[in-house]
Structure formats: C-alpha cells, structure tokens
Structure 1
Amino acid sequence: MAKTIFQISKHISDKDILEKIKHLGNQNLTVTGHGYKEFGSIPIMESANRSTYSYFDKFKEKPAIALIDVVLAANRNYNKVVEPHVRRIESHYPNLKNFDELKEIMNSKTKEEFYLFWGHKDEKKYNTLKNILLSIAELKKQSKITDDFSLMNNWGTKADLSNYKSDIIGSIPNIAIATFQHLRMVFGVDTIKPDQRVKEVLDFEFGFSNLSDLNVIKAVEQIALISKMRVISIDQLFVQYGSSYYNQSANKITLKQIILNLKRLGVENKIISEATLLTLGQVNKIS
C-alpha cells in the first residue's frame, strides 16, 4: 500500500470505519445502482465482491472495449449514456478485441462516422482516444510487450500517480486523474477512481468533504487496509452504494418518507414540524 499523505485515523476510528463498511455493504442494490442489471437487488457487499472477481475478465479478452469504456465514461452518467453504447458495440463488433483493430476502425472512418460508431459526438473524447492509441503504440516500442492487456498492466503498475501529468498517458490533454486511475483499474491495478460517487460516500458517510482527488485515493486505500479488503472492492462498494442511494433524479426520497423515517427513529413531531416547515397537525397525520 502506498505511503499516505492523508491521515484518516485523525478523523475517524478503525472501529467506526468497520461498522460503516458493514452498514453500507448490508444495503441492497437499487434500480439506479451500478451492478443492478447484472446482479439484481442483492446486498452491496456481495455485489462489490462479485464485481471485483470479474472486473478484469472481459477486459483481458477485449482491451479495446476497455479503452472505449474508460474514455466514454469520463464525466458522463455511465448507466444512461455509456453502458448502452458499449453493449451495442460489443454486439455489433464481436471481433473487436485489440488496440490495432480499434485503431483500424478509427482510421477507416471519418470523425462523423466514428461518432455514430460509438454513439457520442464529442471531439474532445475522440481526440483523447486517438492520442491514447498513439501513446500505446509508443509503449509497445519501448517495452516490447505484444499482449495489449499485459502492456497496459505493466504501464499501470509502474505509473507514478503523484506525478501523473508527466506520464506518457497522463500528459495527454483531457486526461484527468480520474481517467488515469480508471485506465489503471481496468487493466489490472488494485486502485480506485476518485469519481463523484466515491467522493459523495466519503463525504456523507465518513465526514470527509472537499478532499483533493489524490487524498480521495489515499483515504480509500486506508479504508481498504483497515477493512482488509482490496482497494478496488471498496471502490465498487462506494460506487454501487452511491449510485443506488444518492441518485437525486431517479431515486428521490419523498418528504413523507423522511418524516416516517424520523418518527421511527424517535424524533418528536414538534421537532419534525420545525425542521420541515409543516404544521404540527400535518406531521401528526402522517403515519
């Protein structure tokens, strides 16, 4: 485990961390959660562990799909605007597996045709993918590794996170630290991507707000160490919990449900009235 610059023990005890991980893991996936389509409404800890075990399997066989998946996923809602297109590509192009085949598709299509191929009209992402493929070609020359997954695993294992902007891939325009980390993850490195869901869980559940991306990574590494879990398993647990329970558009909790939950916790109706701005009579009627 890398030496940390963020001392999590100053903020929360190991016991509290273990209890929180247990609590999050015991909650079931909801329809908005990552993994729900594959696993259904099962406990998130079970889903996170199953996701970890199978995380690299497809990408070992189809590293080109992994690359498309990562580039499209940057700053996008994965379930809504990324996953459907990745599944479609896999269905329509079952033989698309290695980087050379992806490069050939890019070279054989105009930019507009490629937009149709991967379902996104985004010049920045298009250029990012193209530049990554160029960097990968250079990595092949330097390392002499011919297998695409092994090549990227070798790169990701040796990559210096603290100096990622000087990396052959990290230096590519529009490659932020989250994409850099996502690439390392899909190619077999036990690490974490500091995306919005992970940050939300660290904030709402553990009380860590306004952390830098680097400190988000270090905090999760420490939580994994304390929990005796793989870092990627904690990542999956946080992403699946966050997407299940923090989705404000698709999983919005009603005021009535909030009031019922407060009553079950023993909060007095007068306090609920003051907090919700409902009259005491209105609160009394909710049951």
Structure 2
Amino acid sequence: MNSTQLKIKDVIDPYMAKTSGLEKFCDRCLRTERWSGNVVLMIVDAAFDSIGLNYFTAIVPKVIKFEEKFVENGRVKNLKDLSDLSHQRVRSMWGNERSWKVAQSVASYLHDLGERENLSDKKAFRFWASNSSLENWKENPIGEIKGVGLTTYQYLRMMGGIDTAMPDKIVRRVIEEILDKADVNMPTKGDLELIRTIDRMAEISRYRPIEICWMAWLVQSEGGRIRMEKYRDVLGRI
C-alpha cells in the first residue's frame, strides 16, 4: 500500500472495530434476507425511510406495526397485495401518502417484472437490482418513480443484492470525517462522487461499500451508546 492507502485504512479500521457483527448483517442484506426475507417488508422499509425520519426510532417500529397489522394475518402476502393496498387503509399508522405511493409503485413494478419473467417476488427484486445501474439511475423504472431519490434507489439496490452505498447526510458526514483524519482529499460533494469515493475507500481498506455505509449509521451515538450496541437485538430481526 502507498501512504494514502495506509492512512485511510489506519483511520477506518477503528470505526469498523466498533461494529462487531456488521459483516453478517450486511451478508443478509445482500442475500435479500432482511426482515426474514420478506420482500414486502423490505419495500415498505425503504419507502418509509424515503422521507428522512430516524431509522431506528421512527421507521423500524412502523414497519413492525405494518407487519403485525397486515402481514402476519395474511392480508398482504406478496407484492401484488402491497401494490393494491390503498393509503386509506394504512393512514391510521402511516400518514405520509407520498411515501406510501412509493411503496405501492415499487411493489407494482416488481410484481409486473416477476410476471413477465416468471419469477418469485424475491427473484424479481434481485433480477431488477442486478440489471440496475448507478450512472443511469434516473432512467431506471424505479428511479423514475416520484419520491424515489438516489438514496432510496441505492437502498433498494443494496437489499436486492448489490454491494454499494447510500449517499445520505450521515454517511457523507462520517466519510468526510474519516478523510479529514487521514488527511486525504477525495470528492464527496456530489452524491455520485460520494458513492464512488466509498467504492475507492472499500478497495483500499478491504471492507465492502455496504459495510462502510452501514458502519457510518451504526457508529452514531444515541443516549450514550452507539447504535450498533443499542439496537443489536433489532438488527438481528431486520
């Protein structure tokens, strides 16, 4: 390694050391096995997260509530059921209509894709992700859905099996902090620049982009504890 590579690895290693168990969590994400492999819940998770609320205190409890109210009783068994579920029926537990339409629209597209290709919901999700790209994301059928920004698009790709990162504000802040400590200049201003910089940091450090991304969220402190420790039991469920 050259000096720049060593600097980045020396700085990022202590961050990653705080997140024991992260590798297995990311493995499950890349196998499309989050939420016990339930694609409906993964889509709902991404749609709810698209409006920028705190993931662990606001989004996860609502996804669990949705699971209890609609999935466990068999009312929503698959993506077709999700695409047909009107906002009126979920309004009491989730008031944001725009993000609900994201869930419906993504579910509808993936269901239709599965019908065309004769694939299960999970295989359709992974088929879409494997044929998606970062560069042309706005022209992708899911990227074209109103309310799906690059962060949500990337989140869906990750759960569909693509080793990549999301360019949200927390990830950007942590990446810039690492680069500053390493005294290394890499571009992070634009969203695409940030994702490519994370890819480069992954090559240097031997961690995966998805691991660097989730690490950035999980090393944040809440109530005097980092999220990795505070929400370890939740992470095992989701």
What range is the shorter-chain TM-score in? 0.7 to 0.9
Q: In structure 1, which of residues 216, 228, 232 is the aligned counterpart of residue 206 of structure 2?
A: 228
Are 1:218 and 2:196 counterparts?
yes
Are 1:121 and 2:112 counterparts?
no
Unaligned runs of 5+ in 2: 181-185, 226-238
Matched-pair identity in %: 20
Structure 2 match to 1:30 = none
Q: What number of residue pairs does the alignment pair up?
A: 213
Between the aligned partners of 1:159 and 1:221, the Cα distance in structure 2 is: 17
Structure 1 residues 145 and 15, CA gap change in structure 2 (3 angstroms): farther
Between the aligned partners of 1:193 and 1:184, the Cα distance in structure 2 is: 10
Structure 2 match to 1:172 = 145
Are 1:19 and 2:10 counterparts?
yes
Q: CA deviation at 1:172?
A: 0.9
* Contact 2:188–2:194 under 8 Å retained in 1: no
Q: In structure 1, which of residues 165, 170, 188 is the aligned counterpart of residue 161 of structure 2?
A: 188
Q: CA deviation at 1:205?
A: 2.2
Structure 1 match to 2:64 = 87
Q: In structure 2, which of residues 95, 105, 109 is the aligned counterpart of residue 131 of structure 1?
A: 105
Higher RCO structure, 1 or 2 (CA under 8 Å, sep 6+) = 2
Higher CA-based Rg:
1
Q: CA deviation at 1:100?
A: 2.0
Q: 1:1-287, aligned counterparts within 5 Å? A: 13-26=4-17, 43-44=18-19, 46-55=20-29, 56-59=32-35, 61-74=37-50, 75-92=52-69, 93-94=71-72, 95=74, 96-104=76-84, 106-107=85-86, 111-116=87-92, 119-142=93-116, 144-207=117-180, 211-241=189-219, 243-244=220-221, 250=223
Structure 1 residues 97 and 192, CA gap change in structure 2 (3 angstroms): farther
Structure 1 residues 59 and 156, CA gap change in structure 2 (3 angstroms): farther
Query: What code does the residue aligned with 1:154 have?
Result: F
Between the aligned partners of 1:150 and 1:137, the Cα distance in structure 2 is: 10
Q: CA deviation at 1:48?
A: 1.8
Query: What code does the residue aligned with 1:70 have?
Result: A
Query: What code does the residue aligned with 2:107 have?
Result: L
* Contact 2:165–2:213 under 8 Å retained in 1: yes
Query: What code does the residue aligned with 1:213 have?
Result: D
Between the aligned partners of 1:238 and 1:115, the Cα distance in structure 2 is: 32
Unaligned runs of 5+ in 1: 1-8, 27-42, 253-287
